[in-house]
Structure 1
Amino acid sequence: MDLKDVGAIYPFQGSEVVMVIIGLVFWIGWHVLQTRHESAEIEADMAADRTGEETRKAIDRN
C-alpha cells in the first residue's frame, strides 16, 4: 500500500505556509503590543518617581 493512495494523513494538509505566516504575524504583533505596554508602564513609573509619589508610598509602607 502506498501512502499517496491513502489521502490526507493529517488535517489542514497544504495550509502549512499560511499557518506559518499567521503565526509570524501574531508573534510580531504580540511583541509590538507588549513593547508598547511595557514602555507606557515604565514611563508611568518614571513620572511617578519624578513627582515623588512612589517615594512617599514606599515610606508610608514602612
Structure 2
Amino acid sequence: MSTIGYKDWAVDLADVGAIYPFQGYEILMTILCVVFWVGWHRIQFKRESEHLEKARELGDKDKVARALERY
C-alpha cells in the first residue's frame, strides 16, 4: 500500500521527488498542529490559573487564622 501513488519502487528516485507519507497534506497538518498547540496552551493556562487561585485562597491570612482557631 502506497500513500504517494507509486505501485513499484523500481524507478529513479531522483525523478520521484518527495517519498514521505501523506504528501500534499503539509498545510492541513500544520494548521491542525497550530490549533492543537494553541488549544493545549489555553487549557494549561486555565488549569494553572485555577490551581493558583486555590493556592491564593489557602494563603489568605484571615482564613488561615480562622482554620487554626478551630483546633
Q: State TM-score, norm by structure 1.
A: 0.72
Higher percent of residues as helix? 1
Which protein is bigger by CA-based radius of gyration?
2
What is the aligned-residue identity percentage? 42
Residue aligning to 1:21 = 31
- The superposition leaves residues 5-61 of structure 1 with CA deviations (integer Å, 9 ceiling, x where unpaired) of x475110000000000000000000000000001000000001111218xx6xxxxx
Residue aligning to 1:36 = 46
Number of residue pairs matched by the alignment: 53
Unpaired runs of 5+ residues, structure 2, are: 1-11
Find the partner of 1:52 among 34, 39, 64.
64
Q: Which runs of 4+ in 1 moved over 6 A?
A: none
Query: Aligned partners of 1:25 and 1:42: how far apart in 2?
Result: 26
Q: Note the aligned Cα RMSD (angstroms).
A: 2.2
Say which structure, 1 or 2, has more relative contact order (CA 8 Å, 6+ apart). 2
